[in-house]
């Protein structure tokens, strides 16, 4: 195992009545004027935004609003949010939604505390030194951004998707009511389940191990795969929805990687898929993982044997994961993901972008350069 630093400062309020704690939490963390940041119309149609507005008004907490967050959140909206918050003297950001809304909020929080362009943090030109605090009312369990140190933003001018990691962006609190996830479409639910599994697998596939961390990761994988299959047939089952929602947070707050060096090669490869084709992140991960696994298998077959024995009931692990993805309606190749095979030019462009012109490598279980990236994209294009 390796030495590690584990930080989880986010206060979690979980359950059916969790939203009732919102104004108390805002007061606790010093919010005087709040940006309510959200995505499309679902938060409005569900009545959640109306409830939040009423609660803030009754508590005398001023607010402004900015909607319009889309999957693979855009830098242009982050910049709009920064400008709005500066104009309105906002001192706290409330993300109402899932990972895209939270990541967009984190970007705004970074930018408000920085004199330069917020893209500097994603382009590795600067390191965050401060951030305006954010809180979360979670409606989509998937990304784990409500407890993580990471945010991913797409520069819609340059057509680039980049991440930034800093403990400064970890939310102060997250309100998590599983009932808010009852009406998620089956595809969105399955994408979330895949993302949760992948956040765990990206840490599990490491050449460094810690027995207790492995056991936690394996238990999470088994539980989410079981609940994931069941919830698609029983979407109003509170226990199943609660299991998936809490697993999403645990999968990406660092717990399943303590004592290990994480990989995240598949995530890096997927960023180029979602940038090029506009696909859902979870679906893109499912389309790539089995081919990444096949490509890196020889690095440490024992890791795959452990996955088989302790999670998959002894089944051949790569095929078992492929069958699981199909069982929840996820693609398991690029062809299945986009409805056709990618062209040679598209594959070469993705490898070029992922390697940042050939100078950047990803992964740790097996380090991947431009050639290796190209090989995996080609394999996944069957």
Q: Is the pLDDT of residue 41 over 90?
A: no
- 154 in Cβ contact with 72 (< 8 Å): yes
For residue 64, what pLDDT is reported? 98
Coil, strand or helix: which one is 365? coil
Q: Is the pLDDT of residue 148 over 90?
A: yes
pLDDT above 90: residue 115: yes
The helix/strand/coil state of 38 is strand
pLDDT at position 382: 85
Phi, psi of 164 (to 5 degrees): -140, 140
Q: What is the pTM of this model?
A: 0.96
pLDDT in tens, 154-199: 999 999 999 999 999 999 999 999 999 999 999 999 999 999 999 9
Which pLDDT score is estimated for 40? 82
The two beta strands, 150-155 and 160-165, are: antiparallel
Give the integer Cα–Cα distance in Å for 106 and 110: 6
pLDDT value, residue 42: 83
DSSP code for 122: H
Average pLDDT, the chain: 97
Give CA 370 to chain center in angstroms.
24
Q: What is the pLDDT of residue 221?
A: 98
Q: Which domains does the chain have, with CATH numbers?
A: 11-180 (3.40.50.1970), 185-380 (1.20.1090.10)
């Amino acid at each position: 195992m390796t030495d590690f630093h584990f930080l989880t400062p986010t206060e979690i309020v979980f359950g059916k009545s969790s939203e009732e704690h919102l104004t108390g939490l805002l007061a606790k963390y010093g919010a005087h004027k709040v940006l309510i940041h959200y995505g499309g119309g679902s938060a409005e149609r569900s009545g959640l935004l109306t409830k939040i507005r009423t609660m803030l008004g009754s508590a005398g907490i001023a607010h402004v609003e900015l909607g319009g967050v889309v999957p693979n959140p855009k830098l242009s909206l982050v910049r709009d949010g920064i400008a709005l918050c500066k104009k309105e003297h906002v001192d706290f950001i409330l993300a109402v939604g899932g990972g895209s809304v939270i990541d967009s909020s984190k970007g705004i929080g970074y930018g408000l505390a920085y004199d330069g362009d917020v893209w500097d943090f994603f382009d590795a030109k600067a390191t965050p030194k401060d951030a305006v605090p954010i809180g979360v009312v979670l409606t989509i369990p998937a990304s784990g951004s409500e407890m993580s140190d990471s945010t991913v933003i797409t520069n819609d001018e340059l057509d680039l998707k980049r991440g930034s990691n800093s403990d400064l962006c970890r939310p102060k609190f997250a309100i998590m009511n599983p009932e808010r996830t009852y009406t998620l479409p089956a595809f969105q639910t399955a994408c979330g389940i895949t993302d949760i599994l992948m956040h765990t697998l990206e840490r599990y596939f490491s050449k460094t191990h810690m027995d207790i961390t492995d056991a936690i990761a394996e238990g999470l994988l088994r539980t989410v795969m079981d609940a994931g299959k069941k919830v698609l047939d029983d979407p109003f089952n509170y226990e199943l929805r609660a299991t998936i929602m809490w697993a999403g947070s645990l999968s990406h707050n660092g717990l399943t990687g303590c004592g290990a060096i994480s990989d995240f090669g598949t995530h890096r490869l997927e960023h180029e898929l979602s940038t090029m084709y506009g696909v859902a992140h979870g679906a893109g991960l499912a389309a790539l993982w089995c081919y990444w696994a096949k490509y890196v298998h020889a690095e440490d077959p024992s890791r795959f044997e452990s996955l088989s024995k302790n999670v998959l009931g002894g089944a051949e692990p790569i095929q078992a994961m492929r069958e699981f993805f199909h069982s929840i309606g996820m693609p398991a190749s690029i062809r299945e993901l986009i409805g056709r095979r990618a062209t040679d030019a598209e594959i070469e462009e993705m490898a070029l972008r992922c390697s940042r012109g050939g100078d950047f490598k990803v992964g740790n279980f097996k380090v991947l350069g431009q050639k290796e990236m190209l090989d995996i994209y080609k394999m996944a294009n069957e």
